[in-house]
Amino acid sequence: MLLSAPAPAGAEGGGLTWLGYDQAAELARQTPRPIVLFFSAPWCYLCKKMQRLVFSDPALAGRLQKQAYPVLVDVTKQPRLMEVYEIKQVPTTIFLDLNGKPVLRLTGYQNRSTLGRALMFVTMGHHHRMSWEAFFDSP
């Protein structure tokens, strides 16, 4: 279930053009794609590290822009989303399916490879057939 919340639409950060939450929800209604929520905070070292080293990667950023709607959620400005998605720590990355249902939650720092695999897991529909752990461990 997607909720309405203010967000900095079109915010730039780490090689991606981040969308606001409402903007991503509207785009997903028009052209269905998964939504990727990246929960972050200004004081979070690992969040900044992910933006600097992971989301700045041109290949990953390009895939995220084409295959999903990336949303940067600053938990200090959007505490309601933090409550809705039960965020206990940042960084946390949540992948929503085409119906806006959370299908994968990755807590803590994630490297480019893991985020790329997670994107494939959700966009290719593997989450319907197997667990993340089984997919991640497969060759």
pLDDT given for residue 118 in this prediction: 96
CB atoms within 10 A of CB 86: 10
| Cα–Cα distance for residue pair 52/127, rounded to 1 Å | 28
Nearby residues of 40 by Cβ (< 8 Å), 6 or more positions away: 47, 50, 51, 72, 73, 74, 75, 90, 91
Nearby residues of 77 by Cβ (< 8 Å), 6 or more positions away: 6
Domain 23-137 has CATH 3.40.30.10: yes
In the chain, how many H helices and how many E strands? Answer: 6, 6
What is the end-to-end Cα distance of the chain in Å, rounded?
A: 33
Residue 32 tokens, joined: 């269905």
Residuewise pLDDT in 10s, the chain (139 residues): 444 343 343 444 446 899 999 999 999 999 999 999 999 999 999 999 999 999 999 999 999 999 999 999 999 999 999 999 999 999 999 999 999 999 999 999 999 999 999 999 999 999 999 999 999 888 7
CB atoms within 10 A of CB 80: 13
Each domain of the chain, given as residue ranges in start order, spans: 23-137
pLDDT given for residue 96 in this prediction: 97
pLDDT given for residue 137 in this prediction: 86
pLDDT given for residue 138 in this prediction: 83
pLDDT given for residue 1 in this prediction: 43
Total count of residues recorded for the chain: 139
Query: Structure pTM?
Result: 0.88
Residue 99 tokens, joined: 């119906």
pLDDT given for residue 91 in this prediction: 98
